[in-house]
Amino acid sequence: MAKKVKTDQIFVLTANDLSSGDIVFWSGESRWAQEITSAHVIAANEQDTFTEIASASESANEVVGAYLTPVERKNSDLQPVELRERRRVAGPSIAYGSPVLPQKIAA
Amino acid sequence: MYVYDKHDQTFVEARSQEFRDQVKRRLAGELSEDEFKPMRLMNGLYLQLHAYMLRVAIPYGTLSSDQMRKLAYLAEKYDRGYGHFTTRQNIQYNWPKLVDVPDMLDELAKVQMHAIQTSGNCIRNVTSDPFAGVAGDEWIDPRPTAELLRQWSSLHPEFAYLPRKFKFAVTGAAEDRAALKFHDIGLKVKPGADSEPLFEIWVGGGQGRTPRIAVLFEDKVELVDLLPKLDSMLRVYNLHGRRDNKYKARIKILIAEYGLENYRSDVEEDLALQSLEPFAPAVAEYHRIAKDFERTDVPPRSVSSPKQEPQSPGLTAWIKQNVTSHKIAGYGVVSISLKPKGGIPGDATAEQMYALADLAERFSLSELRITHRQNIVLPYVPASDLAELYEELVVHGLAEDNVGLLSDIIACPGLDYCALATARSIPVAQTLSTRLRERESREDLSGLTLNISGCINACGHHHAASIGILGLNRAETENYQITLGGSSNDNASVGEILGPGFSQEEIPAAVDRILDFYQASKQPDENFNQVYQRLGKSAFKEAVYVAA
């Protein structure tokens, strides 16, 4: 059963770029942007329209795995409601790819 | 090491070319994502939380220095300068671009590697003992069996769409260093008459949301009967395994619901109908493969070097903790920890991988292994070279002397990378390893393990640890459940859930209370799981929750 959505819930449309795999957000200007700050805010009653945009963009091989995710405004910034989406937007929380500094050889 | 013959090489190159064409068609819009997804998954390419992820197979965890150098090159050229070694003895690249993956597969094919069947509902990369061929307690080298299975299962047309993924492990030593009983099928190889291998077949083990310890299906299976038997075992699973619910689709559920005796009876019935002709070459092929693993180039070494230099405390501690006795006198098996204090379990930078390739050439007959505990092994290091090797490892940040200690933590990528994860595991591992390294400097924390998974799929093997940590999503907040008493050794056991979960910030103190109680309660020569079994969950629960 579909989850009941509050009428004032807002969303953004997100996906991954087909070629690079990068996370992208629908900017509302017939293009996808890499930052959530550029995302077009979608009202609850607009979901069907943007689901169609997502399908069209997938069919046009621009993006893969497009979906709407609920967001909220925090200090005028958009922040995903779901933990998984918050991590997806923020990126890994760890300093990857940098080796732990060599230890000193004990005398 | 096994060297590809012409057939192997042609097969891998053809597969790489095939995938190049598939990617080209996908990017041109000739294939939809629904059509392309099964193809990319069969070549180890996932779409993860932030990007594509390519999982490369390291068959039974064995690598040559040239292969390790190639893995470093891929990390440097196509990824972000690092890779992640997994509990399946594979390596994952977290940031490849789809357009680059065909080139990556071509590069892998040049060194006899690929990413085939590292994903999908098929027989996955066969894992084995990282000390295979060099362990002092080994009965028989498990790698020829593992390679035979690789050849049998690679693109096996009947088993390409099983009800669910299928994992094999093979060991041939007294100590289980491959978590055999947590596999769909585990093979324990022992020598039979005329030193021919005899197999114990264990079936129905696994982790995930329904952890199960494998049960003995049959012992003393002869080599000539092995592949027909496995073929029938897979066929019966393929027919009867559930396809209506992916959480109940693994063979462990079939064994539990259908019953071992019914399953065994169906296998015997199927076996009686099989033509054995396709399997006729298997025995000769096993012996051909086995010859490749026989090292005849190991120079004799003196047991002790004539001039004993005084050792630094760091070297002494590292030898004590990270070097295991070798079956050949004068050599040691060196485990290189990928668990530095505060580091990311299993991660290695391209620079470190290049260094490991060079060090394997200088010190270990150009051979390396990957362990299911996410460490690296140099299997042929002369005892007289240990000090020089240690100094090189220090330079590259690879000299942590904690192999087999509690800070030798297994952790899956968790919510920092994984699309399935419900919580992060790496930051928890980093915090705990920092605290535990300090604690290990004061007290003995050997003989117990700590594993962390970022979701119930249990890639971080939390069920199989003395202390397991499972990251969950509770109302969009990370929450961590603790399990106690698990083990992946020969007396395998599944950890029990201790009680309500903790926040990420609360976990280090909770682990401290578990360790405090264990240290205060243990009797001489008792390990953690023995203390847990003796005192029971309630005693630990009281120590952890009431004392909080």
Residue A20 is which amino acid? S
One-letter identity of residue B312: S
Q: Enter the DSSP assignment of B101.
A: H
pLDDT at A97: 87
Angle of CA points B104, B108, B112, to nearest 5°: 165
Q: Stretch B142-156: mean pLDDT, rounded?
A: 95
CATH class assigned to B314-395? alpha beta
For chain B, residues classed under CATH 3.90.480.20 are 6-110
pLDDT score for B304: 64
Question: What pLDDT, on the 0 to 100 scale, is given for residue B463?
Answer: 98
Return d(Cα B33, Cα B53) in angstroms, integer: 16
| Strand arrangement, sheet containing B376-382 | B62-64, B367-370, B376-382, B331-336, B323-325
Contact B485, B495 (CB under 8 A): yes
B150-195 pLDDT per residue, tens: 999 998 999 999 999 999 999 999 999 999 999 999 999 999 988 8
Whether A65 and B33 lie within 8 Å, measured CB to CB: yes
pLDDT at B366 over 50: yes
Q: Where in chain B is the domain with CATH 3.30.70.3340?
A: 314-395
Section B51-70 average pLDDT: 97
Q: Using CA atoms, how far apart are residues B174 and B171, in angstroms rounded to an integer?
A: 9
Q: Which residues of B touch A84 (CB under 8 A)?
A: 49, 415, 421-422, 473
Burial class from Cβ neighbours inside 10 Å (0-12, 13-18, 19+) for residue B241 reads buried
Interchain contact, B33 vs A64, CB within 8 Å? yes
Whether residue A101 is contained in a domain is answered as no
Q: Which helix (H) or strand (E) is B216 found in, with range?
A: strand B215-222
Q: SS in 3 state form for B14-44?
A: HHHHHHHHHHHHHHCCCCCHHHHHHHHHHCC
Give chain A's domain count: 1
pLDDT at A102 over 60: no
Three-state DSSP class for residue B202: strand
Query: What are the residue ranges of CATH 3.30.413.10 in chain B?
Result: 127-291, 410-546
Q: Which of A22, A84, A96 sits opposite B347 (nearest CB)?
A: A96
pLDDT (0 to 100) of residue A88: 97
B95 in contact with A, Cβ within 8 Å: yes
Inside any domain, residue A98 = no
Q: Provide the pLDDT for residue B89.
A: 96
Which pLDDT band, with edges at 50, 70 and 90, does A103 fall under?
very low
Cβ partners under 8 Å of residue B146, min gap 6? B59, B60, B126, B127, B128, B168, B170
Query: Residue A100 falls within a domain, yes or no?
Result: no
- Could you tell me the pLDDT band of residue B305, with boundaries at 50, 70 and 90? low
Residues 6 or more apart whose Cβ sits within 8 Å of residue B72: B350, B351, B352, B353, B354, B357
Whole-number percent of chain B with pLDDT over 90? 95
Of 3.40.50.1820, 1.10.3720.10, 3.40.50.1260, 3.30.413.10, the CATH number of B127-291 is: 3.30.413.10
Alpha carbon separation from B49 to B125, B442, B455, B542 (Å, rounded): 23, 40, 14, 38
Q: What is the pLDDT of residue A100?
A: 55
Average pLDDT, integer, range B511-516: 98
Which CATH number is associated with domain B6-110?
Answer: 3.90.480.20
Q: In this predicted model, what pLDDT tens digit does every residue of A33-78 receive, in sequence order?
A: 999 999 999 999 999 999 999 999 999 999 999 999 999 999 889 9
Residue A99 has pLDDT above 70, yes or no: no
CATH no., domain B410-546: 3.30.413.10
Q: Tell me the C-alpha distance between B112 and B442, whole Å.
A: 46
The span from the CA of B393 to the CA of B214, in Å, is 38
| Amino acid (1-letter code) at residue A103 | Q
Read off the pLDDT band of B309 (50, 70, 90). Answer: low
Residue A24 lies in a domain: yes
pLDDT confidence of residue B303: 74
Whether residue A20 is contained in a domain is answered as yes
- In this prediction, residue B308 carries a pLDDT of 60
Mean predicted confidence (pLDDT) in B87-104: 97
**Mean pLDDT, chain B, as a whole number?**
96
Domain that holds residue A60: 10-90
Nearest-CA distance from B181 to chain A in Å?
Answer: 32
Enter the tokens of residue B443: 């007290």
Q: What is the mean pLDDT of residues B200-226?
A: 97
Query: Could you tell me if residue A43 is inside a domain?
Result: yes
- B511-528: average pLDDT: 96
Position A34 in a domain = yes
Q: Per the domain annotation, does A72 fall within a domain?
A: yes
Query: Contact at 8 Å (CB) between A66 and A38?
Result: no
The answer to whether the CB of B514 falls within 8 A of the CB of B540 is: yes
Decide if A76 touches B, using CB distance below 8 A.
no
**Mean per-residue pLDDT over chain A, rounded:** 89
At B395-418, the pLDDT tens digits run 999 999 999 999 999 999 999 999
